Structure 1
Amino acid sequence: MRRIGIIGVGEIGKAIVEGLLSGGGASPEVFLSPRGARVAGELSERFEDVQVCADNQEVVDRSELVVIAVRRQDHHEALAGLKVDDDKTVVSLMAGVAIDDVRRTLATGAPIVRAIPLPAVRERRSVTVTCPSHPAVDALFEHLGGAMSVADENAFNVFSALTGTLTAHYAYLATLTSWATRHGIAPDVADQYVRCLFQNVGRSLNDESRPLHQLAAVHETPQGNNERIRTTWFDPANAAALGEALDGLLADLK
């Protein structure tokens, strides 16, 4: 696709633009909606292939592939009245908004694909789940780090729920830092050590020869420190509570 439009230029929209245009080589033309004017304006100043359009209809008209990245509670207002010809391709990044809902709102026969890009697409290091598979959309996200297509929206919603755990992970790390600070460690030193500790965990995830439960096992010794925290804090009740939270989120996404 040589002409890509983005309606809703928030963090993910910005990351897609940066991933598309920061890596060198041939770049597509990118057309941005005025929604998120500050970010859109900044991107148009940084990249010569980026243009901010007057309205959402102009984004659609000038693009071959249209990415919709507005919040789900705003999508009826943002998309109402848009005319999308059947030869366009629509990519919806809206969690909890089914393809049929998007199609009714846009009243179009164009292909509609759902996707879950993460901020790391700006570095072309994030695998993006798509549904259903579409050659142009999968090629776009392969360029941004990889595409993982699933056949139906039930499976897609499970992956969408999993992404809802990201900030809980950051909060967990912040809690560790706060605990160390309460025990006399300087905040910047605690922050540095916790970051280093879990960056190493991240690198170990590159070992795809072993499933995650085996990676956990090889990082602890019987009756050692890691086993103690895992079994006393992340106990069956804690694990069940996490599962219940994910079940509730999944029900809402459906």
Structure 2
Amino acid sequence: MQRIGIIGVGEIGRAIVAGLCEGDDQSTEVFLSPRGARIASELSERYEGVQVCADNQEVVDRSELVIIAVRRQDRHDALASLRVDDDKIVVNVMAGVGNDDLRQTLATDAPLVRAIPLPAVRERRSVTVVYPSQPAVNSLFEHLGGVLPVADEAAFNVFSALTGTLTAHYWYLATLTSWAAGQGIAFQDADRYVRSLFQGLGRSLNDETRSLRQLAADHETPNGSNERIRTTWFDQANSEALQKALDDLLADLQ
């Protein structure tokens, strides 16, 4: 795939462009919509082969594969009257917008593929879930860190719900930092230490020979500090509350 268009250049659009254009691969042409004008202009100045188009129709016309990354609530304004020929491939990265909904909006028979790219695609380190499997789309996201095609939209929605936990993880770390600062530790020192602590822990996730539960067990000693926090804070009630929140989110996504 040599010509890729992106309609809606926010955080995910920016990450995709960086992932495509950083490094030695200079063969891809990227066409950006004027939505998110500041980011689009910045990207076109930084990367050769990235161009900002006059409007969304020009993005579609000049591209082989079109990524639609506008916010859910903006999709009708952004996509109104857009003509998408059947030989294009459309990648839908709008959270909570199914392909049937998008097909009705675009009035096209072009292949539509849902995808969940995450910001780490900029470093080509994020596995992207897609539905349905499509060779050109699979190839694109394999290049950006990996692709995980799923069997149906129900499975896709489960993975989409999982992405809703990301900022809770950041908030957990922020809470640890605030607690340490409340104990008299300089905030900058607490922040630096918590970041270092969990960056190191995160690298252990690369060891796929051990399950997540095994990794947890390997970081605990019987009656030790880690076991104490896990069993007293992340108890059965806490676990059930998290699962209930995910159930409710999944119901909304469906």
Q: How does the TM-score come out when normalised to structure 1?
A: 0.99
Q: CA offset at residue 27 of structure 1?
A: 2.6
RMSD in angstroms over aligned alpha carbons?
A: 0.7
Aligned partner of residue 247 in structure 1, secondary structure: helix
Q: 1:41-120 residue pairs with structure 2 within 5 A?
A: 41-120=41-120
Cα distance in 1 for partners of 2:156, 2:27 equals 29
Structure 1 position 213 matched with structure 2 position 213: yes
Which string of whole-angstrom CA distances, capped at 9 and with x for unpartnered residues, describes residues 20-59 of structure 1?
0011123311000000000000001111201111111110
Which string of whole-angstrom CA distances, capped at 9 and with x for unpartnered residues, describes residues 193-216 of structure 1?
101111111011111111111111
Q: 1:118-133 residue pairs with structure 2 within 5 A?
A: 118-133=118-133
Q: List 4+ stretches of structure 1 deviating above 6 A.
A: none
Cα distance in 2 for partners of 1:252, 1:54 equals 35
Matching residue of 1:231: 231
Q: CA offset at residue 10 of structure 1?
A: 0.1
Q: How does the TM-score come out when normalised to structure 2?
A: 0.99
- Structure 1: tracts of 5 or more residues without a match: none
Q: CA offset at residue 75 of structure 1?
A: 1.0
Matching residue of 2:38: 38
Aligned partner of residue 206 in structure 2, secondary structure: coil
Cα distance in 2 for partners of 1:143, 1:31 equals 18
Q: Aligned partner of 2:202: which letter?
A: G
- The size of the alignment, in residue pairs, is 254
Matching residue of 1:134: 134
Residues 127 and 145, structure 1, Cα contact 8 Å, conserved in 2: yes
Cα distance in 2 for partners of 1:25, 1:42 equals 20
Q: Aligned partner of 1:23: which letter?
A: G
Aligned-pair identity (%):
76
Aligned partner of residue 199 in structure 1, secondary structure: helix
- Structure 2: tracts of 5 or more residues without a match: none
Residues 26 and 49, structure 2, Cα contact 8 Å, conserved in 1: no
Cα distance in 1 for partners of 2:234, 2:25 equals 47
Residues 20 and 27, structure 1, Cα contact 8 Å, conserved in 2: no
Cα distance in 1 for partners of 2:192, 2:27 equals 37
Q: CA offset at residue 76 of structure 1?
A: 1.6
Aligned partner of residue 31 in structure 2, secondary structure: strand
Matching residue of 2:12: 12
Residues 125 and 144, structure 2, Cα contact 8 Å, conserved in 1: yes
Cα distance in 2 for partners of 1:56, 1:39 equals 16
Cα distance in 1 for partners of 2:239, 2:245 equals 10
Residues 91 and 137, structure 1, Cα contact 8 Å, conserved in 2: yes
Q: CA offset at residue 121 of structure 1?
A: 0.5
Q: Aligned partner of 1:94: which letter?
A: M
Matching residue of 1:196: 196
Q: 1:150-169 residue pairs with structure 2 within 5 A?
A: 150-169=150-169
